[in-house]
Chain A
Amino acid sequence: MAVRFDEVQVGTELPARSFPVTRATLVQYAGASGDFNPIHWNEKFAVEVGLPDVIAHGMFTMAEAARVVTDWVGDPAAVVEYGVRFTKPVIVPNDGVGAVIEVSGKVAALLDDNRVRVDLVATSEGQKVLGMARAVVRLG
């Protein structure tokens, strides 16, 4: 089941995923992570500080994007490096539907020691929400 280094090449695509996010998701993430910044649950506060609406935690988006990699490799310990830039917020309206984070990834480079670099693209409402989203993964 685990992905093997000799099975992949530059351009190999990882299965893409869509991750829904509602206000309830953000409240749950706030509780689990301890990040209670009101911009993630209080739209009055969010608007007062210049945001269009409540936004998702950047670390929540980063966690969702990682799942494309960890679901692909199976053992999350295969991830040896992971980095992102938070370019645009994921806006989460209070309409019972919320937002969707779309994540795709592909192998961008083969490295030494059976490692590969995976480049991820994460968007919401057509906007790139992460930049330079890259993971280095050690394959079998």
Chain B
Amino acid sequence: MPLDPSFTGRTYPPTAPYEVGREKIREFAAAIGDANPAYTDAEAAKSLGHPDVIAPPTFPFMLSFQAAAQVVNDPELGLDYSRVVHGDQKFVYSRPARAGDRLSVTISIDAIKSLAGNDVLTVRGEVHDASGEHVVTSIMTLVARAADEAGKE
């Protein structure tokens, strides 16, 4: 059954703050094999004008994806997550996430479209720090492939 397009515009409550830790950034940078010292060396980060180590550009996806569980698990929307693939991802930054940040994500459904039997869901996460300043917007497109045996549902 296609998703109900009237969910477009729905906004979910902000998530509990996620505290960005230096060691989590280090672990993430190591996992992507990135030796940029701005991620691991506070002095190197400070020499670039940052108050502490910063996180790689794709780091905030972890937060926005976790927060998007509110959409994925919304019983009223009824998304079948076993058929979902990540179609597009975009970030728009005010600044990099950095160690010590307490980040909260507000998720909205920007669009629900049906393309060739697939449901295409655009989910936006606005990431703010503890003072309410914008850090990054994460926009992900989730594609729910049409059920293999249409009409069985």
Contacts and interface: CB of A to CB of B under 8 A. Distances in A.
Given A82-B91, A83-B91, A59 B58 contact: yes
A59 B30 contact: no
Given A59-B61, A70-B56, A31 B31 contact: yes
A132 to B, nearest CB: 8
Given A32-B30, A70-B36, A77 B88 contact: no
B95 interface: yes
A82 to B, nearest CB: 5
Interface residues on A, range: 20 to 34
A125 interface: no
Contacts of B34: 63, 67, 70
Contact of B89 (A28, A29, A67, A84): A84
A14 interface: no
Contacts, number: 97
A76 B54 contact: yes
Interface residues on B, range: 20 to 34
Interface in B33-82: 33-34, 36, 38-39, 48-50, 54, 56-58, 61-62, 65-66
A83 B58 contact: no
B147 interface: no
Given A28-B30, A31-B31, A63 B56 contact: yes
B90 A83 contact: yes
A79 B30 contact: no
Interface of A: 19, 25, 28-29, 31-35, 58-60, 62-64, 66-67, 70-71, 74-77, 79-86, 132
Closest 8 CB pairs of A and B: A83-B90, A32-B31, A63-B32, A63-B58, A75-B48, A29-B31, A85-B88, A28-B31
